[in-house]
Structure 1
Amino acid sequence: MFLAALSFSFITKALGGVIMKSSITQIERRFDISSSTAGIIDGGFEIGNLFVIVFVSYYGSKLHRPKIIGIGSFIMGIGSILTALPHFFMGYYRYSKETYINPSENSTSSLPTCLISQTLSHNRTSPEILEKGCEKESGSYMWIYVLMGNMLRGIGETPIMPLGISYIDDFAKEGHSSFYLGTLHSVAMIGPIIAFVLTSQFAKMYVDIGFVDLSSIKITPKDSRWVGAWWLSFFVSGLLSIISSIPFFFLPKHINKPQEKRKVSISLPVLKTNEEKNQTANLTNDRPNVTKNVTGLFQSLKSILTNPLYVIFLILALLQISSHIGSFTYIFKYVEQQYGYSASQANMLLGIITIPTVASGMFLGGYITKKFKFTMIGIAKLSFFTTAISFLFQLSYFAVICESKSVAGLTLTYDGNNPVTSHIDVPLSNCNSHCNCDESQWEPVCGNNGITYVSPCLAGCKSSSGDKKPIVFYNCSCVEVTGFQNKNYSAHLGECPRDDTCTKKFYGYVAAQVLNVFASAVGSTSHIMLIVKNVQPELKSLAMGFHTLIIRALGGILAPIYFGAVIDKTCMKWSVTSCGKRGSCRVYNSRLFGMYFLGLCTGLKIPPLLLYIVLIFAMKKKYEGKDTKASENERKAVDETNLEPLNNNGLLVVSDGADSKMHI
């Protein structure tokens, strides 16, 4: 019963993690924030986790573990629901200054066209109305509640894995723990599958579905301003987490089984001195004083931090996993911007690709390690080989970067005949200089010449088909001056689609992505062994806990932020809030986006390759001088791979490279 309850909780934990990752782009648009700010929201989960990780690790095993897990699952559910709540306090989503939705009239204001007599739209609004609208603007500080909800979800998630695994290890029959652990992680893969399906379906629905007349919405899911019903995913996740918490409150603190010779869960800060090593049998009865614990802690930290093998692997793991975390956080945005897919399509495609690939890669990696009975040096060589293969596939991404979109006023002059050296302050052309357009607006239209214009006014369009869908604009003077050989100089609402060349490149990207993820997953299965077997046996728990702490703090929190900051550098057109501040990005320089994003991912993988070589030589120097008995101990260590997480803090699995890629 405990295994069934914990499996359900693992599913909801994974579900919430993937939903947050795949909803980042939607949150960014809804709250009119930059990618770096969205990265702070994403890192909130790790911040919340770090707040309580030490307390849970130390005190959790002394309390009623099922109830603590139940409380954690309940808090995790409340956090997910809190993340969704701002949707109900922000008013209706206003995707354009010119197309403000009026729910009572079920209509929108007319789109601005080129009229010589018109005045700029922002001059028609009084300062008082602007100030009032500024307070309710989507780009306000309501995103802080989303951050708080994600932090709360991180706090609630903390006890589920370490306390759940230690409970199974304490009360399962001898030899059954590894089977239960394997079952647990296999069932947990249901979570990401459900998450990708949910986010894909909800991303197709308009954010204010049920509150506004959908016939008045003029944009489509492929529009860069489209926001899907992201909040529904968090509500579903939150409710499932709360439901998963219920069974734990009815489970016993101890299962009535003979406890002779059974293992006792070791919490993170508990460190054994030389005297205590000889008194393992009385571990639960010995209570060293606080001074000894603190002294022992610092001595143990000094011991692992002066261990070259441990430090080398810690640094390379941090760089490698930071690359995975940053990549997975923004890969949905990358596919949308680079290849022109909607958020719904990106979520579904990446879900279909990632889940089975990671699962099969991890299985193969574990099978190879067991089959060939690799020593520790063999495991390090396998990790180096798979990292090198993954790096080569990562390099192939650069060959399938698409050229930037043809956008008049950003990549081309407004007459569409010449490229521009910079997207900043591109001067108007004769075709639209007389139209008195608001250059800050973003209402893209696609001309029949295949060029996207920032607005129908800047395209020089004189009239439109009204509210009929699809909305078409006629007599567009800027389309005419491009030399387009057609008498119908019109444009339709929305950006121009990607060309066939870019579509073909997407298929190449998908193939490289599958091979890259597979290679990474194969090499990640035995990472835990390179941590716990290169330190003294009594320091395994501390070594793994410190590893997790560093990965979460410097990888899980910081990686999304600096990846987001780099992505922001490639934005060509920012939205402008009613407060006059910069909002979210409307369109990126696709080529620069690809070069910067992939360059950062790839750059973080180069130092680990070099460090793996240093690590292998250092391990050879340490182990090859030992006798055959040491080699036998190494082989025995490999056989304990599946059981090792049970002897330590359950958070070990989280810092694994493959799990960090999924960030579950």
Structure 2
Amino acid sequence: MDQNQHLSQTTEAQCSEKKKTRCCDKFKLFLAALSFAYICKTIGGSTMKSFITQIEKRFDISATLSGLIDGSFEIGNVFVIVFVSYFGSKLHRPKIIGIGCFIMGAGSVLTALPHFFMGYYRYSKETFINSSGNSTSSLSTCLINQALSINRTSLDSVEKGCGKEDGSHMWVYVLMGNVLRGIGEAPVVPLGVSYIDDFAKEGHSSLYVGGLSAVAMIGSIIGFTLGSLFAKLYVDIGYVDLSTIRITPNDSRWVGAWWLGFLLCGLLSFISSIPFFFLPSNINKPQKERETSISSHVFKTNEERNTTENLTSHGKNDTENVTGFFQSLKSILTNAPYVMLLFSTLVHFSSFIGSFTYIFKYLQQQYNQSASQINFLLGILALPTIATGLFLGGYIIKKFKLTLVGTAKFALYSSVMSWFFQLIYFALVCESKPVAGLTLTYDRNNPVASHIDVPFSYCNSDCNCDVNQWEPVCGNNGITYMSPCLAGCKSSSGNTKPIVFYSCSCVEVTGSQNKNYSAHLGECSRDDTCTRKFYIYVAVQVLNFFFFATGCTPCAMMIIKIVPPELKSLAVGFHALVIRTVGGILSPIYFGSLIDITCMKWFTNSCGARGSCRIYNSTLFGRVYLGLTSSLSFLALLFFIISIFSIKKKYQGKDINASENERKEMNETHL
């Protein structure tokens, strides 16, 4: 009898051990699947940031519209995040995450689809693609009978119909795809984190969430690296003969294979959705935890049972729930430290998102760097620096056991250092390129007061040039001309690379005995002084990102600590909602609107409609871009200083208690 009992106990123990192992394996599978989903979502976000400037050129839209496209992700995310977070927890969470990943992939594919329906990319008015996929062009040199061809082209375009041009409104599909991607990403983080918190071992959930954040940063690095690779490939690769393409990746009109990045993101997102459909809604907890739960339920006191019944009856009253929600919201909105911190982080986040959205455009226009080089630098230098700063900020708080006021001072110090490095950028602004017809007269004798309607000179007045054309050439005098015709060039070397134009009457080198003045296709490169400024800018940018990231963790910690414990979730949720709505959606739009003001040469299609900007006043661009960024950061500092004073006033003499609470709740720093 004893042997049978012992055998029965052994069998039960083995079954329990197998069950525990199966539960552990399911949780590990969920963790692996969620890590892959995190990588996919960050690859998608970094891909959009990488190609937003090239999308702007491909669809011939302004920076304001490209900012709207970039912010449309937040529109989709904010639209459903509250519903997903509330109702998703009551449903099959892994399947909801899987559906979200599938929608995220569909959004990425929708973003890339316009490439296959809008025809070949024409980087100038003279570029045409014949039926065999070869690029043909009529280089606009200085010819007396060119006026006839221009008029004929205009008549043909009118007969064809301006409203039927390929790709005139295709950018709407890119916007819709980005909205769809935001909707799909909404359940990944909240439902994934809640699932981990429910079924992870005691005290391990914060470790898993921190690991997921690190994995997500790896996805961003992969995204920017792929962006660097795809930016070197011509947009119509596989469709046209690349040997006939006259421009290079350093040309301002170059558009890389942006659609390849989104197709890859879509494919990876589809794959990442598959495992979630085979995971259970609930993972059974280990036997020991179940016994603890059962025993605590059995030995519950009458008082606890009465409390539970009261809470249950209270939860059934919808009116009281709504009233309680608004009372809780009123409580945090009348909390002065919380409100000031909310304003501070909102303005600071707006500054960061707006500047990061257009950093590619800024570096291209300011230092003449290609999109491929910028993607590589951001992926290799900036993102690891941000990850290091986020980790170090949390480590310093834990190591030195900073009080609430001490945490606020540490965050203020980091923000001040970040703002200080932003001021250094002003000394690294390069002078605008000398461009005949925009910054100089065509004979190069005098600067122009305005870049609008600059009169012709003796060297090109008889050429009948189209002033709306943008086919930049660099004369051997170091000055850029908007077209070979406006440079007074009479002939060219044809389609052989590099294309050289000869007998350019406006390109006259003082003191030169050679009267055969020439120019080569493309803008003139920056001088050595500006190139050195670029490398200094990169070093300063790394330090700026480091201090910015170091101050992010203390700010997140303060949001939790300055509200009552029962209002932490509401405080964090409301804070995220306001920042993503106002900062994530609006800041790219008003940044883009101000950047559009600095444009000197807009592309105009055959119907006269304005497209994307070809060249900016780089000096004015730098002052507007850096001025707006630093002004918002300074305003954020003022709000933050006010929040520190309000914290001191409210918690004066309570720093010891704040420190003790922090030690008890240190795992919340990983939020």
Query: Fold match, TM over 0.5?
Result: yes
Aligned to 1:12: 40
Superposed displacement of residue 288, structure 1: 2.8
Any idea what SS the aligned residue of 2:283 has? coil
Please tell me whether the aligned partners of residues 446 and 494 of structure 1 are also in contact (alpha carbons under 8 angstroms).
yes
Q: Distance in 2 between matches of 1:80 and 1:276?
A: 51
- SS in structure 1 at match of 2:668: coil
Residues 283 and 576 of structure 1: CA distance in aligned 2, closer, same or farther (over 3 Å): farther
Residue number among 423, 426, 433 corresponding to 2:461 in the alignment: 433
Q: Which structure 1 residue ranges, 5 or more long, are not aligned?
A: 263-274, 646-664
Q: Structure 1: how far apart are the matches of 2:213 and 2:569?
A: 21
- The alpha-carbon deviation at position 135 of structure 1 amounts to 3.9
**1:337 pairs with one of 360, 365, 369:** 365
Counterparts of 1:503 and 1:121 in 2: how far apart (Å)?
A: 41
Matched AA of 2:546: F
Which of the residues 192, 200, 203 maps onto 1:175? 203
Query: Is 1:238 equivalent to 2:259 in the alignment?
Result: no
C-alpha distance after superposition, 1:97-118 (max 9, x if no partner): 1122224262412201111232
Match of 2:124 in 1: 96
The amino acid that maps onto 1:224 is S
Partner AA of 1:161 in structure 2: V
Matched, 1:404 2:432: yes
Looking at structure 2, the residues matched to 96 and 163 of structure 1 have their Cα atoms a distance apart, in angstroms, of 48
Cα distance, 1:277 vs. partner? 13
Q: Is 1:110–1:466's contact at 8 Å kept on the other side of the alignment?
A: no
Corresponding residue number in structure 1 for 2:298? none
Aligned pairs for 1:632-643 (under 5 A) are 632-637=660-665, 639-642=666-669
Is there any run of 5+ residues in structure 2 with no aligned partner, and where?
A: 1-28, 294-302
Cα shift at 1:136: 4.8
Cα distance per residue 1:608-636 (max 9 Å; x no partner): 21222211121112112338445422443
Hey, which bits of structure 1, 4+ residues long, moved more than 6 A? 275-278, 280-286
Which whole-Å CA distance do the structure 1 matches of 2:201 and 2:68 have between them? 44
Change in Cα spacing, 1:570 to 1:172, as seen in structure 2 (3 Å) is same
Aligned match of 2:502 in 465, 468, 474?
474
Q: CA deviation at 1:32?
A: 0.1
Q: Which residue, out of 144, 151, 167, partners 1:116?
A: 144
Letter of the structure 2 residue corresponding to residue 6 of structure 1: L
Cα distance change on mapping 1:287 and 1:261 into 2, 3 Å: farther
1:558 aligned to which of 586, 590, 595? 586
Q: 1:141: how far off?
A: 1.0
Local SS of the residue matching 2:506: helix
Matched, 1:195 2:223: yes
Q: Alignment partner for residue 326 of structure 1, among 350, 354, 361?
A: 354
Tell me by how many angstroms 1:131 deviates.
5.6
Return the letter of the residue paired with 1:156.
G
User: Bigger CA drift: 446-455 or 132-141?
Assistant: 132-141
Which AA in structure 1 matches 2:446? Answer: N
Deviations, residues 524-568 of structure 1 (Å, cap 9, x unaligned)? 122222112111211111111111111111100000000001111
Matched with 1:393 is 421
**Paired residue for 1:63?**
91
Q: 1:463 aligns with which of 488, 491, 494?
A: 491
Q: Report the secondary structure of 1:478's partner residue.
A: coil
Render the CA deviation track for 1:333-370: whole Å, top value 9, x for unaligned.
11111101111111111221212111111121121111
1:584 aligns to what SS in structure 2? Answer: strand
1:76 equivalent to 2:141? Answer no
* Residue of structure 1 equivalent to 2:320: 292
Question: 1:422: Cα distance to partner?
Answer: 1.1
Q: Report the CA distance shift for 1:107/1:368 in structure 2 as closer, same or farther (over 3 A).
A: closer
Matching of residues 22-61 of structure 1 within 5 Å:
22-61=50-89
Residue in structure 1 matching 2:334, options 301, 306, 312: 306
Answer whether contact 1:103 1:213 (CA < 8 A) is retained. no
> Which protein is richer in helix relative to its size?
2
Residue among 223, 226, 249 paired with 2:277: 249
Q: Does 1:498 align with 2:526?
A: yes
The answer to whether the 8 A contact 2:338-2:643 is kept is: no
Q: Is the 8 A contact 2:498 2:520 kept in 1?
A: yes
Q: Letter of the 2:668 partner, please give it.
A: T
Secondary structure of 1:84's aligned partner: helix
Residue 523 of structure 1, aligned match among 551, 566, 570: 551
SS of 1:524's partner is helix
Tell me which residue corresponds to 1:158: 186
C-alpha contact 1:444 1:493 (8 A) present in aligned 2: yes
Displacement of 1:483 in angstroms is 5.8
- In structure 2, relative to structure 1, the CA distance for the partners of 1:359 and 1:626 (3 Å cut) is closer
Distance 1:20 1:562, change over 3 A: same
Q: Which secondary structure state, in structure 1, belongs to the residue aligned with residue 507 of structure 2?
A: helix
**Does the CA contact (< 8 Å) of 1:13 and 1:157 recur in 2?**
yes
Deviation at 1:478, TM superposition (A): 0.2
Partner SS state of residue 479, structure 1: coil
- Paired residue for 1:350? 378
**1:536-575 superposed matches below 5 A:** 536-575=564-603
Deviation at 1:445, TM superposition (A): 0.4
1:3 to 16, 22, 31: 31
Deviation at residue 127 of structure 1 after TM alignment: 4.2
Does residue 1:145 correspond to 2:173, yes or no? yes
3-state SS, counterpart of residue 547 of structure 2: helix
Q: What is residue 227 of structure 1 aligned with on the other side? A: 255
The one-letter amino acid paired with 2:244 is S
SS in 1 for 2:587: helix
**Contact 1:101–1:216 (Cα < 8 Å) also in 2:** no
- 1-side partners of 2:663 and 2:341: how far apart? 20
Q: CA deviation at 1:188?
A: 1.6
The within-5 A match list for 1:505-520 is 505-520=533-548
The aligned counterpart of 1:650 is none
Structure 1 residue 261: deviation in Å? 7.2
Deviation at 1:427, TM superposition (A): 0.7
Q: Compared with structure 1, are the counterparts of its residues 302 and 105 closer, same or farther at alpha carbon in structure 2 (3 Å cutoff)?
A: closer
Q: Is the alpha carbon distance of 1:367 and 1:454 closer, same or farther for their aligned partners in structure 2, counting shifts above 3 Å?
A: same
Shift of 1:421: 1.3
Structure 1: how far apart are the matches of 2:304 and 2:251? Answer: 65
- Give the conservation status (yes or no) of the 8 Å contact 1:471–1:493: yes
Q: Which residue of 1 aligns with 2:391?
A: 363
TM superposition shift of 1:481: 6.7
Q: Distance in 2 between matches of 1:421 and 1:627?
A: 60
Residue identity opposite 2:462 in structure 1: H
Distance in 2 separating the partners of 1:627 and 1:39: 43
- The alignment partner of 1:97 has SS state of coil
Q: How far is the alpha carbon of 1:522 from its aligned partner?
A: 1.1
Aligned to 1:86, the other structure's residue is in SS state: helix
1:421-470, CA deviations, whole angstroms, 9 ceiling, x for partnerless residues?
A: 11111111100011000000000000000000000000000000111111
Determine which of 332, 335, 345 is the counterpart of 1:317.
Answer: 345
CA distance in 1, matches of 2:528, 2:145: 41
Matching residue's letter, 1:468 = T
How far, CA to CA, are the matches of 1:121 and 1:277 in structure 2?
A: 90
CA–CA separation in structure 1 for the residues paired with 2:667 and 2:390:
17
From the superposition, tell whether residues 628 and 399 of structure 1 become closer, same or farther in structure 2 (CA, over 3 Å). Answer: closer
Is the contact made by 2:133 and 2:239 (CA closer than 8 Å) also made in structure 1? no
Structure with greater Cα Rg: 2
- 2:624 aligns with one of 574, 596, 600: 596
Q: How far, CA to CA, are the matches of 2:313 and 2:200 in structure 1? A: 22
Matched residue type, 2:57: R
Equivalent residue of 1:108, what SS? strand
Contact 1:137 1:578 in 2 (8 A): no
Which moved further from structure 2: 249-258 or 31-40? Answer: 249-258
Question: How big is each residue's C-alpha offset from its partner over 1:385-425, in whole Å with a ceiling of 9 and x where there is no partner?
Answer: 00000000000000000100110000111012221111111
- TM score, norm. by length of structure 1: 0.92
CA positional deviation for 1:283 = 7.0
* Structure 2 counterpart of 1:211: 239
* Aligned-partner Cα distance in 1 for 2:292–2:69: 46
Aligned length: 631
